[in-house]
């Protein structure tokens, strides 16, 4: 029997409840705790990381990380540093803090994917409005996204050059970095592949006719999708490049070509669980126990 920690914003949340159930069903001990309960004690003989008086370096055989949420700079560094410190104490962290740092950042992720031969949409990332506008063609539309966004929030579509110039200048003035991407005409449908280790354990189409954002959080409906070899190859490769053991890979298909638009390092699976009989939480826990726990 091993003890698997789950660090989360809400220990009663759906995914944490699913993981807890799976951990217990597989005969192990679960230790869910809140990010806000974390503290590090640093003294003469090094450091220890605790939650609720429990020495996590001693207690945990592995730690599963749920979404960190919207954070201040200090909170983001503290939470990520704490994950790094736990990993340095020998606790396998899933996903690893390094992978989370890459995946959370759409700029770095897309560059790495593209360098490794994964098809991605043409994208310009800059603080310079002139450089951006010069390089983009607005006829088909340009998608503007927050670097660190999720759930489709904060991204929008630009179709007019003058309007684009004005809006981008304002974003620049507010100190945003501009992440600008060619619009792929997908017809209100994309693919989410849920990767665990070397496998896509489930896939779905997300459909929202008349909308270009197909996040479940924006109202898209999940439809079952057969996991093909092609989807597995693309999604597992993308997850690996970013360093994720568990990932939700978003794929847009246009004229038979598949483009990866992002890799989510802390994917939810409530939507995809509705269209598959596979027990996703169990797949995650089985993978952690078999592949990540060494002690
Ligand atoms: N370049 C694009 N062309 C067309 N649709 C896009 C593009 N990028 C994103 N989308 C749509 O917007 C959704 C959200 O974008 P995504 O990059 O996955 O960011 P988020 O982190 O908000 O999920 C996608 O699921 C897709 O439906
Ligand atoms: Mg997405």
pLDDT in tens, 215-245: 999 999 999 999 999 999 999 999 999 999 9
C-beta of residue 12 within 8 angstroms of C-beta of residue 293: no
Query: Relative to the CA of 188, which ligand 1 atom is closest?
Result: 27
Percent of the chain with pLDDT over 70: 100
Ligand 1 atom nearest the C-alpha of 264 is: 21
What crossing angle do the helices spanning 280-287 and 14-25 adopt, rounded to 10°? 60
Superfamily designation of domain 186-277: ATP-grasp fold, B domain (3.30.470.20)
3-94, which class in CATH?
A: alpha beta
Q: Which CATH superfamily is domain 123-182 in?
A: ATP-grasp fold, A domain (3.30.1490.20)
Which residues 6+ apart lie within 8 Å of 264 measured at CB? 103, 150, 247, 248, 249, 250
Decide: helix, strand or coil at residue 81: helix
Identify the pLDDT of residue 250. 98
pLDDT digits (tens, 9 = 90+) for 104-125: 999 999 999 999 999 999 999 9
Q: Residue ranges of the domains in the chain?
A: 3-94, 123-182, 186-277
- Alpha helices by DSSP H, listed for 93-228, are 97-103, 106-115, 129-135, 161-173
> What separation in Å is there between the alpha carbon of 117 and the centre of ligand 1?
20
CA–centroid distance for 286 within its chain = 20
Q: Residue 168 C-alpha to ligand 2 middle, in angstroms?
A: 22
Does 149 score more than 90 pLDDT? no
């Amino acid at each position: 029997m091993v003890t698997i920690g789950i660090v989360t914003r809400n220990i009663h949340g759906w995914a944490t409840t699913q993981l807890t159930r799976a951990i217990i069903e597989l005969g192990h001990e679960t230790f869910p705790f809140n990010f806000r309960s974390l503290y590090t004690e640093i003294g003469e003989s090094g450091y220890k990381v605790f939650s609720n008086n429990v020495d996590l370096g001693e207690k945990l055989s592995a730690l599963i990380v749920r979404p960190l949420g919207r954070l201040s700079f200090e909170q983001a560094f503290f939470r990520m540093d704490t994950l790094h410190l736990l990993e340095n104490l020998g606790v396998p962290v899933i996903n690893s803090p390094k992978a989370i740092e890459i995946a959370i950042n759409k700029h770095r992720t897309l560059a790495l994917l593209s360098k490794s031969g994964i098809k991605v949409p043409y994208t310009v990332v800059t603080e310079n409005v002139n450089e951006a506008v010069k390089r983009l063609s607005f006829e088909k539309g340009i998608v503007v996204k927050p670097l660190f966004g999720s759930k489709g929030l904060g991204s929008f579509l630009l179709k007019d050059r003058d309007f684009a110039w004005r809006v981008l200048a304002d974003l620049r003035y507010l100190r945003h970095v501009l992440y600008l991407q060619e619009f792929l005409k997908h017809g209100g449908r994309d693919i989410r592949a849920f990767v665990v280790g070397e496998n896509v354990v489930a896939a779905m189409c997300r459909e929202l006719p008349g909308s270009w954002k197909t996040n479940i959080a924006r109202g898209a409906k999940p439809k079952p999708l057969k996991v093909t070899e092609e989807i597995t190859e693309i999604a597992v490769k993308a997850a690996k490049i970013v360093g994720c053991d568990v990932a939700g890979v978003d794929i847009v298909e246009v004229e038979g070509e598949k483009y990866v638009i992002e890799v989510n390092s802390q994917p939810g699976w409530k939507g995809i669980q509705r269209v598959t009989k596979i027990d996703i939480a169990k797949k995650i826990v089985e993978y952690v126990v078999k592949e990540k726990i060494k002690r």
